[in-house]
Structure 1
Amino acid sequence: MKKIVLTGACGALGSVLRAPLAKLAEELVSTDIAQAPAELMPNERFVQADLTDLANVEAVMQGAEMVVHFGAIPDEAPFEELLGPNFIGAYTVWEAAHRAGARRVVYASSVHAVGLQETMSGHDTEVPHRPDTFYGLSKCFAEDMGRMFWEKRGLEAVCLRIMSCTPEPQNARALYSWLSHGDLVRLVEASVTTPVTGFTIAWGVSANSRAPVSNARVSFLGYHPRDNAEDWADRLLPTPKSPDPSDPAQRCLGGPFAVVPLGESGVAAIRRMTETG
């Protein structure tokens, strides 16, 4: 490919993707509202940009064949705070990608688009939206917009419902929800290099023995995860615990995001859960 654009390039996940994406194109243009990373790949160019500014994003997109959109606030927050980066920012990325003649947007969606679905029900990629937060609602908005841009304008999209992506699984919930950094790279590379995707939703999850979701419907992506959170089970489950069937944080895919008040940080709730075991 001649040019890939990566948004959110300075974020926790975007920074993992910069080097692998640089290998897939003649030029990688990385962008973030933050300042440039200390070092860039030989074929990487960085542009500091605000995703809510359509003209700004259009300039970044010129000549792009593929857009990997990971720029957003990655947590629950008041709706007014999410409106710009997560809602309007998603629109400007899709609109600018369309105007630039890009072929596809690979989007960092989230399990929180369906976070109030029950974990033990078993879900493929056709499970309907059931957001657990304003943050999850922003992912529903972007997924629906991606489908509309495909059906009305022919711009492909692969929406990755990422569960919990960390270098190692952090808590008992991660035994089913973990996405390793290595599998994140494999998933994004597959989403970029698959010849035809149309509009596709895929789960961002590793090959966990306890995974409650399935990518069987989208095997054409060629995503083959290699890591399994079960390798950490002895550390994460030192003593058996009785489940509380009345607790949505245990019962729902969104975990603690399913119970935090709207507008309050879900990441903080997960951190507290991790610290207390």
Structure 2
Amino acid sequence: MTERVLITGAAGGMGTLLRPRLGRPDRVLRLLDVAPLPPGDDAETIEASVTDADAMAAACRDVDVVIHLGGHSREAPWADILSVNVDGTHTVLEAARHAGVRLVIFASSNHAVGFHPATSAPDDLFPRPDTYYGVSKVVGEALGSMYHDRYGLNVLCVRIGTCIERPVTERHLGTWLSPDDCARLFEAAIALPSLGFRVVWGASANTRGVYSLNAARALGYEPRDDAESYAADVTPASELDLRYIGGQDFCGPEADH
């Protein structure tokens, strides 16, 4: 039986990394973004915004799984964060539940808890956002919880560390989620017939990692990569990188708007 997976924000950084890793013969990827997408062999492409309720309703039709990556990926003015990240996530969840989608995977972030000390990050770490962007991820997690409890929608919120091809800074040695491991985590969730509502950390098996992977491993996730392989090539950490989970770029004054 062919499975259809909708990826919002499919033209963005994470979407570009994950598209080839999530393709398989028994799966059709439906790719949605406000930016043009290159046509794929088996991919369906939609140029639309996650804030467009009609477009999202059409995009979720006949979909089994939604991977919601769409939205601002860094700090932005509150009006922009509210419109795209908060209202857009509500629009996606509303479309998914009306379409009978089985599972929504929400790309949350370490910035939902960015002002916690960068020494330990258990699975149940209470929200302490570092930016408006981080606040939007807290709201997304809360919406996911409500949509599960009220409507029975399966929702997995993944507090992603740093999902890039390879670590660049010393901070990344603890936060890195390799694209291959990210796909492994998402595949583990997709394979489960029902997972309810869960919040898990998204990180690789990093030697310097402080994020608990117990909840992610309970899904069947087995990370294989370690940022330590790149330790000789990264730039040094700043003082705020070492103090806060969110690091210098999000906890420092330059994040202000």
What TM-score, normalized by structure 1, do the two folds share?
0.87
Q: Any stretches of 5+ residues in structure 2 without a counterpart?
A: none
Equivalent position SS for 1:140: helix
Matched, 1:83 2:82: yes
Q: Corresponding residue for 2:246?
A: 254
* Separation (CA, whole Å) in 1 of partners of 2:10 and 2:233: 32
Structure showing greater radius of gyration is 1
Residues 22-53 of structure 1 deviation map (CA, whole Å, 9 limit, x = unaligned) = 3175422110000122x31x321101111111
* Separation (CA, whole Å) in 2 of partners of 1:155 and 1:45: 24
- Map 1:167-246 onto structure 2 (within 5 A): 167-236=165-234
- Map 1:21-170 onto structure 2 (within 5 A): 21-23=22-24, 25-37=26-38, 39-40=39-40, 42-120=41-119, 122-170=120-168
* Separation (CA, whole Å) in 1 of partners of 2:94 and 2:146: 12
Kindly provide the amino acid, as one letter, of the partner of residue 253 in structure 1.
I
Equivalent position SS for 2:66: strand
What's the Cα RMSD here?
Answer: 1.8
Q: Corresponding residue for 1:275?
A: none
* Separation (CA, whole Å) in 2 of partners of 1:237 and 1:98: 44
Kindly provide the amino acid, as one letter, of the partner of residue 244 in structure 2.
C
Equivalent position SS for 1:227: coil
Q: Any stretches of 5+ residues in structure 1 without a counterpart?
A: 265-277
| Superposition deviation, residue 237 in structure 1 | 6.7
Between the two proteins, the alignment pairs up a number of residues equal to 255
Kindly provide the amino acid, as one letter, of the partner of residue 156 in structure 1.
N
1:203, 1:214 within 8 Å by CA — same for their partners in 2?
A: yes
Kindly provide the amino acid, as one letter, of the partner of residue 175 in structure 1.
L
Kindly provide the amino acid, as one letter, of the partner of residue 184 in structure 2.
R
2:123, 2:215 within 8 Å by CA — same for their partners in 1?
A: yes
* Separation (CA, whole Å) in 1 of partners of 2:18 and 2:67: 9
Q: Corresponding residue for 1:16?
A: 17
Equivalent position SS for 1:169: coil
Equivalent position SS for 1:185: helix
* Separation (CA, whole Å) in 2 of partners of 1:142 and 1:136: 10
Equivalent position SS for 1:105: strand
| Superposition deviation, residue 230 in structure 1 | 1.1
* Separation (CA, whole Å) in 2 of partners of 1:209 and 1:154: 37
Equivalent position SS for 2:200: strand
Residues 125-175 of structure 1 deviation map (CA, whole Å, 9 limit, x = unaligned) = 101000000000000000000011001110011111111111111011111
Equivalent position SS for 1:108: strand
* Separation (CA, whole Å) in 2 of partners of 1:218 and 1:186: 10
Residues 238-263 of structure 1 deviation map (CA, whole Å, 9 limit, x = unaligned) = 8xx8x8xxx54421100011123554
* Separation (CA, whole Å) in 1 of partners of 2:188 and 2:215: 15
Q: Corresponding residue for 1:267?
A: none
| Superposition deviation, residue 202 in structure 1 | 1.4
> Using a 3 Å threshold, how does the CA distance of structure 1 residues 3 and 123 change in structure 2: closer, same or farther?
same
Q: Corresponding residue for 1:270?
A: none
Give the % identical residues.
36
* Separation (CA, whole Å) in 2 of partners of 1:138 and 1:22: 29
Which stretch shows the higher mean deviation, 223-232 or 137-146?
223-232
